[in-house]
Amino acid sequence: MLQNIHFASADIIVELGPGNGAITKFILRKLHPTATLICFEINDNFYKTLIKIEHSQLIVIKASAENLNEELRKIGVSEVNHIISSLPLTIIPEKITDMILIQSYQLLKQNGTYTQYQYSLFYHKKLKVF
């Protein structure tokens, strides 16, 4: 999932919807010593879990990814190398999803990557029938 991330040359990586921090912790182990990981999480419980990580290269922002540009500007960030998202895009209203994706694209440096992964139970009920 993270094989296209060039950790050695990345200055700033953004993670959208990190949840309990399973991927976050992996990213932090791979980060270059001068790089920063910025996580956007709106769920109170997940946010509290993330801030307990207490890593010097980690910034946790309690804000929606639809405010990506605004929140990053507040901390002086205008470009990022990579964006990793586990946002459940299939259940987020299309207008908000479009805002997130457009802002993500605008923030990426040349040769930057956007990686989307998600866990979906969309067909769970249907599959239980079989």
| Counted domains in the chain | 1
Mind listing the pLDDT tens digit for each residue in 71-98?
999 999 999 999 999 998 888 898 999 9
How do residues 58-70 score in pLDDT, each as one tens digit?
Answer: 999 999 999 999 9
**Among the ranges 4-8, 65-69, 122-126, which has the highest mean pLDDT value?**
65-69
Residue 118's pLDDT is: 67
pLDDT per position as a tens digit, 26-36 = 999 999 999 99
Domain that holds residue 47: 12-129
CATH number at residue 67: 3.40.50.150
Provide the token pair at 51: 């801030």
Residue 103 within any structural domain of the chain: yes
What pLDDT is stored for residue 57 in this prediction?
98
Instruction: Look at residue 33 and tell me if it is in a domain.
Output: yes
Q: Give me the half-sphere count of Cα atoms (radius 13 Å) on the Cβ side of residue 20.
A: 1
**Predicted confidence band at 122 (pLDDT cuts at 50, 70, 90)?**
low
What percent of the chain has pLDDT above 90?
77
Q: What is the average pLDDT score of the chain?
A: 89
Q: Are 108 and 78 in contact (CB under 8 A)?
A: no
Decide if 3 is inside a domain. no
Does residue 6 sit within a domain?
Answer: no
The pLDDT assigned to 89 comes to 83
C-alpha distances in Å from residue 15, one per residue of 2, 50, 115, 123, 127: 12, 12, 9, 26, 31
